[in-house]
Homo-oligomer: A and B are copies of this chain.
């Protein structure tokens, strides 16, 4: 089996863990690294990862140059959440004929909010023989891919309800900040009003499920509410006092033919009791599927990105979703 050459872009906590995971794969070689942080540029990736050895991959903010010089097969990509914001980064990889696996939340279903831009990227990717995939744990797995897979053994599916409860204190710092931990409720609501707070990807999950089932949603509703702490909560990064925001309750419902067919209920907050995921399929047979403790978000996203590499390498070129590729599965160190 030939060595898979990888460049990684975006050296936040998830990105660094992806790079560390790739280091453990015998048939993978990290040949380059990209980040915009001046504190990281010019340093060897091994040093940034605490790998205890130099990797010969010096961090650069010039992705095009890194891709040109290091000629990777695939770019793993963990920079920003918005498809529009990462479009140029992805197009740069596609033009270099480099496949991409990205954790950009909106890339799980980029056609939803930006069909024209998605079409443009798809054409560039096809022209240059690159496949591009957005994946992760949520969006990308628990509230979309896994739910769809479970409908594979049900018929006449009438509706789906997916619930995810995350104790945000077990998550990385950026996630705790994203859910509003430590804010005043009024501040939280103001940010929601401005569209600057809310789980990114909930609607991508909903519409991807609908797409997978052939449901054309007429409309959806979405609610983003603060979960307010009633006791003092302290994490490694935040202190949340009673009356302050512990996190977020983000729910959405999708309607088809006037009937509610998809319910997503995501609560991520500091101190959430009994974290869990559940997928309830009202079909024939009805099915209820549970993950006690829930799929741990950060590690699972790392795994989802790394594990998608072989699928993307084997894919036809273009902008893909999890619906287009063979079933996800662990990518074993060989």
Which residues of A, 279-334, contact B by the 8 Å Cβ criterion?
283-285, 287-293, 295-296, 299-304, 306-308, 322-334
- Beyond known contacts A288-B292, A324-B326: 19 more, CB 8 A cutoff: A145-B149, A148-B328, A151-B328, A151-B330, A152-B304, A152-B307, A152-B328, A153-B295, A153-B328, A154-B330, A155-B307, A156-B333, A157-B332, A213-B332, A287-B291, A289-B290, A323-B327, A325-B327, A326-B327
Query: Is there contact, CB below 8 Å, between B330 and A152?
Result: yes
A114 within 8 A of B: no
Query: Is there contact, CB below 8 Å, between A299 and B327?
Result: no
Query: Is there contact, CB below 8 Å, between B291 and A334?
Result: no
- Top 3 nearest A-B pairs (CB, nearest first) are A152-B328, A151-B330, A153-B300
Contact of A290 among B292, B302, B328, B333 (CB under 8 A): B292
Query: Is there contact, CB below 8 Å, between B149 and A329?
Result: yes
Contact of A24 among B146, B156, B288 (CB under 8 A): B156
**Chain B residue at minimum C-beta to C-beta distance from A306:** B155
- Identify the interface centre among A292, A295, A324, A330: most chain B CB within 10 Å of its CB: A330
Q: How far is the CB of A144 from chain B (nearest CB, A)?
A: 10
Query: Is there contact, CB below 8 Å, between B285 and A330?
Result: no
- Identify the interface centre among A283, A284, A323: most chain B CB within 10 Å of its CB: A284
Interface of A is mostly: mixed
Contact of A146 among B149, B292, B293, B307 (CB under 8 A): B149
A21 within 8 A of B: yes
Complex-state Cα separation, A293 to B288, whole angstroms? 9
**Chain B residue at minimum C-beta to C-beta distance from A320:** B326
Question: Which residues of chain A have a CB within 8 Å of any CB of chain B?
Answer: 21, 24, 137, 141, 145-146, 148-157, 212-215, 283-285, 287-293, 295-296, 299-304, 306-308, 322-334
Query: Is there contact, CB below 8 Å, between B155 and A299?
Result: yes
Query: Is there contact, CB below 8 Å, between A155 and B285?
Result: no
Chain B residue numbers with a CB within 8 Å of A307 are: 151-153, 155
Complex-state Cα separation, A160 to B244, whole angstroms? 42
Q: Could you list 20 examples of A-B contacts with CB < 8 Å?
A: A21-B155, A137-B153, A146-B149, A148-B328, A149-B328, A149-B329, A151-B329, A151-B330, A152-B303, A153-B300, A153-B307, A213-B332, A283-B303, A285-B299, A285-B300, A287-B295, A288-B292, A289-B291, A290-B290, A323-B329
- Identify the interface centre among A24, A154, A304: most chain B CB within 10 Å of its CB: A154
Q: How far is the CB of A4 from chain B (nearest CB, A)?
A: 13
